[in-house]
């Protein structure tokens, strides 16, 4: 499967910023072993994780036939 998923520049910057935050958070094991830090991170970022998972992954990619088969291989 080789297809193009279109996202706006704003979405791309927002997604890039989110991925940077996730990478920075998980780089330090002290962050994810502290439940208060995990809750704070979740409260600040989950809306974007949900937005991109539901909109981009499920909404734009997930409905296509065979996508989940490819991902699960």
**Residue numbers of the domain that contains 27:** 9-68
Q: Would you state the pLDDT for residue 32?
A: 85
Is 44 part of any domain?
yes
Is 1 part of any domain?
no
User: By the 8 A CB rule, do 62 and 1 touch?
Assistant: no
Cβ within 8 Å of residue 49, ≥6 positions away = 18
Is 15 part of any domain?
yes
Is 62 part of any domain?
yes
Is 3 part of any domain?
no
Q: Would you state the pLDDT for residue 57?
A: 74
Tell me: pLDDT of 62 over 90: no
Domains of the chain: total:
1
User: By the 8 A CB rule, do 61 and 67 touch?
Assistant: yes
Is 2 part of any domain?
no
Is 46 part of any domain?
yes
Tell me: pLDDT of 70 over 70: no
Specify the higher pLDDT residue, 51 or 69: 51
Tell me: pLDDT of 68 over 90: no
Provide the pLDDT confidence category of residue 18 given band limits of 50, 70 and 90. very high
């Amino acid at each position: 499967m080789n297809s193009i998923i279109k996202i706006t520049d704003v979405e791309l910057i927002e997604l890039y910023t989110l991925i940077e935050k996730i990478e920075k958070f998980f780089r330090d094991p002290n962050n994810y072993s502290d439940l208060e830090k995990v809750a704070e991170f979740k409260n600040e970022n989950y809306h974007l994780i949900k937005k991109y998972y539901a909109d981009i992954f499920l909404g734009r990619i997930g409905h296509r036939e065979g996508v989940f088969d490819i991902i699960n291989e």
